[in-house]
Amino acid sequence: MAPQRRGAPKAPESSGVAERRRPSSMKSARAPREVWRKWLRATVLGVCATLAALLLWGSLGSDDGVTEVLAHRSEVLLGRFIEVPCSEDYNSHRRFEGCSPTRCGRGVTDAVITRDEARRIRSIAEKGLSLGGSDGGASILDLHSGALSVGKHFVNLYRYFGDKIENIFSEEDFQLYRDVRHKVQLAIAQAFGISASSLYLTKPTFFSRINSTEARTAHDEYWHAHVDKVTYGSFDYTSLLYLSDYLDDFGGGRFVFMEEGANKTVEPRAGRVSFFTSGSENLHRVEKVHWGTRYAITIAFTCNPDHGIADPAFT
């Protein structure tokens, strides 16, 4: 019998299966590591997101360096006054005995202007600013000079609108404005122990309306720290009458007295008057407004009669 021809020996089937199974077993070994990496990545991203949210909340709900609230919005203050050492800013200006600051400080009161008066005087600002308004977040209305923010510029509302002004404002509006100015002047004189008759209204005295719109010009960047006596040489005493409520009408926008390691903040409240000597002992700024609209009026006084201005007149 002829010998049978045999083919080449076949590799055991099990070896092919093993070869095919090896990558699968390696994937199985890597799977837990991949799951771990994904979990770790997700955890890290989650922690980062949480930290970012906390930082954002902190930037909206508080302010860098603010360590003490001088006046809470929920308080009704008959008067709170803090005396601070006077700066040397006044030495480079003509001094007036019995008026130029020798006792410096800052005060807050809710007992000078009523909330109803604040509501009524705010309506004056709203009516005037309805004629224009800045393209950015800060609009100005000055009833003395007539300056009104319109777009990226200012116009003189008395010349620009002419007789139409009589349809916007009334004599009662201007009388209320004068009455409020007089009450604030008396409060400042009493707090600093000077005669009210030695104080003269000075420029600029103006309404401000601030919202969260992005700044378009340098005039919209209200949040920078500054010294009033340096910015406006005529200022000796500065006051602000707030016409809207912090956290009810707007967020952010608090007034901050800047001191190293101990900044003090005033939370606006309609009818609240904040006042202070205008030198660098009261370096200050306003927080950015994050939502809503903040109304206020800045009323400034000088001891120099040459820098005084008259109350605005309706006719």
d(CA 123, CA 266): 23
Residue 191, Cα to own-chain centre: how many angstroms?
Answer: 26
| Token digits of residue 193 | 């122990």
| Token digits of residue 45 | 């991203």
Q: Residue 84: enclosing H or E segment and its boundaries?
A: strand 80-84
C-alpha torsion angle, residues 65, 111, 282, 55 (rounded to 10): 20
Shortest CA distance to 267 belongs to which of 290, 251, 282?
Answer: 251
In which region does residue 271 sit, left (phi positive, over 0), alpha (psi from -120 to 50) or beta (all else)?
Answer: left
Task: Please state the φ and ψ torsions of residue 257, each to the nearest 5 degrees.
Answer: -80, 125
Polymer length of the chain = 315
| Token digits of residue 214 | 């992005």
Shortest CA distance to 112 belongs to which of 69, 74, 76?
Answer: 76
Shortest CA distance to 75 belongs to which of 234, 267, 237, 259?
Answer: 267
Task: List residues with catalytic annotation.
Answer: 294
d(CA 182, CA 176): 10
d(CA 205, CA 217): 21
CB-based contact 141:128 (threshold 8 Å): yes
